C-alpha cells in the first residue's frame, strides 16, 4: 500500500486518482515549459531547447497539476 499517492475509492469499487502534480520549469527568456524528458535533460546545465539561451537559475518554477474526474460525474450539472 503506497502512502504517497492519494487514491479515492468510489462506492462502486473503482479507484480514482484525482490529481497528479509534476514540477515544471519555464524558461525566463521565452517561457518554454520544460516538461518533456528531453527538455528536462538540458536543465539546469544546458540551454533552453526553444530559444537557445542558457538556463540561468532564474526560471519560473511551478507545479503542473493534472486533474482528472471519474466518469461517474463527468457531464453532471453542478
Which residues of the shown chain bind Zn ion in the complex (CB under 5 A)? 27, 29-30, 32, 48, 50-51
Strand order in the sheet with 33-34: 33-34, 19-26, 60-67
- For residues 55 and 46, give the distance between their C-alpha atoms in angstroms, rounded to a whole number: 6
Return the number of the residue (14 or 53) whose C-beta is nearest Zn ion. Answer: 53
CB of 37 to Zn ion, least distance (A): 17
Closer CB to Zn ion, 17 or 51, in the complex: 51
Min CB(60)–Zn ion separation in Å: 11
* Residue 50 vs 70, nearer CB to Zn ion: 50
Phi, psi of 72 (to 5 degrees): -60, -30
Say which DSSP state 57 is in. Answer: S
Smallest separation, CB 63 to Zn ion (Å): 19
**Half-sphere exposure of residue 77, counting CA atoms within 13 Å on the CB side?**
0
Amino acid at each position: 500500500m503506497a502512502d504517497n499517492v492519494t487514491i479515492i475509492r468510489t462506492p462502486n469499487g473503482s479507484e480514482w486518482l484525482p490529481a497528479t502534480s509534476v514540477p515544471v520549469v519555464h524558461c525566463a527568456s521565452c517561457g518554454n515549459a520544460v516538461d518533456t524528458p528531453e527538455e528536462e535533460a538540458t536543465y539546469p546545465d544546458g540551454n533552453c531547447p526553444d530559444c537557445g539561451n542558457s538556463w540561468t537559475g532564474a526560471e519560473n518554477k511551478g507545479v503542473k497539476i493534472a486533474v482528472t474526474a471519474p466518469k461517474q460525474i463527468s457531464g453532471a450539472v453542478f
